Amino acid sequence: MCGNDQLTDSAELRALEDSMSGVTMPGRPRLAAITARGSARRRHRLAAISGLSVAGVAAGAVLALNLAGAHGQHQVPGTIRTAAYTLTSNANGTDALTINPGELFDPAALQSDLAQYGIPAKVTVGSYCSSDPAPSGFSQVVSGQPQGPSTFYANSGVQPTITIDPAAMPAGAALGISDFQLASGQQLSTMVLISAGSYSCNGTPPPAPSDGYQALYGGHTGP
């Protein structure tokens, strides 16, 4: 203890301090889960301050989605639905991101929604971010359909579902989602793992990564 006053040097307080020294504390929770919770609180508080939202978690979430330009409903907890995607928790601890290829998603909204599920992510528009070397283990973090580069058309009836396992995320890594709006009106989305503290971005749409996932969304005509 700091300070030299007699009171805090008393045997009783030393015994008190010692009594906790042998107790094993639970390990730290994932930082991403803490910051996701905190960020959600901050958004809700700002929404309340701005007078654009009534109190409550669900209302705050709906506001965030509306500001982002999406027209969906946010049901808390468990599922976030927007016109462009649905994000939900699976019973085994993974999260499922189902994409509607006919709608372009809002990157900022997706990033904050992923954060609410404890998934650290960096979603960018018009730039591709990567780390060299990239953290390994993409296939452990992201799985399910689709595998490899894929193109999904709005009228295909296919809504790709990506399964994300936050627990498999390597320490210090984040899910990098780079998004390019193409002249065709489509959206090229590339997903890789990046080192949260060390990555670079450039404005060129990347080729399909060897350890990642790339898909072309949107458009109302098939091949």
Partner 1 sequence: MSHDETEFARFFEASWEPCMRAVAASTGDLLLAEDQVAEAFARAWASWRKVRRHPAPRAWVVRTALNAGASWWRRSSRELPLSDHDFAAPVSQGSGLDAVVLAALRRLPARQREVIVLRVFLDLDIETTARQLAIAPGTVRAHLSRAVTALRSELAQTTATEADSCAATTS
Chain residues that interact with partner 1, rule: CB under 8 A: 1-3, 5, 7-8, 10, 12-13, 15-20, 22-26, 28-29, 31, 33-35, 37-39, 41-42, 45, 77, 93, 196-197
Our CB check for partner 1 shows the closer of 32 and 97 to be 32
Compare residues 99 and 193 and give the one whose CB is closer to partner 1.
193
Evaluate whether 175 touches 121 at the Cβ level (below 8 Å). yes
CB of 223 to partner 1, least distance (A): 40
3-state helix, strand, coil in the chain (%, to 5): 30, 25, 45
Nearer to partner 1, 42 or 220 (CB): 42
**DSSP letters of 18-64?**
HHHHTSPPPPPPPHHHHHHHHHHHHHHHHHHHHTSS-SSHHHHHHHH
Burial of residue 4 (CB within 10 Å: 0-12, 13-18, 19+) is exposed
Report residue 77: phi and psi, to 5°. -90, 175
Number of neighbouring beta carbons within 10 Å of residue 25: 6
Write out the H or E segment, with its range, that includes residue 89: strand 85-89
CB of residue 110 vs partner 1: minimum separation in angstroms? 18
The nearer residue to partner 1, 89 or 150, going by C-beta atoms, is: 89
Q: How far is the CB of 174 from partner 1 (least distance, A)?
A: 8
**Closer Cβ to partner 1, 150 or 195, answer by number:** 195
Which token pair is 95? 């999260």
Q: How far is the CB of 155 from partner 1 (least distance, A)?
A: 37
Taking residue 161's Cβ as centre, other Cβ atoms within 10 Å add up to 15
Q: How far is the CB of 195 from partner 1 (least distance, A)?
A: 9
